[in-house]
Amino acid sequence: MEEAKGVVKHIVLAKFKDDITAEKIEELIKGYANLVNLVPPMKSFHWGTDVSAENLHQGFTHVFESTFESTEGVAEYVAHPAHVEFANLFISSTEKVIVIDYKPTI
Catalytic residue positions?
77, 80
What is the β-pairing status of strands 42-49 and 8-16?
unpaired
3-state secondary structure of 37: helix
Half-sphere exposure of 105 (CA within 13 A, CB side): 2
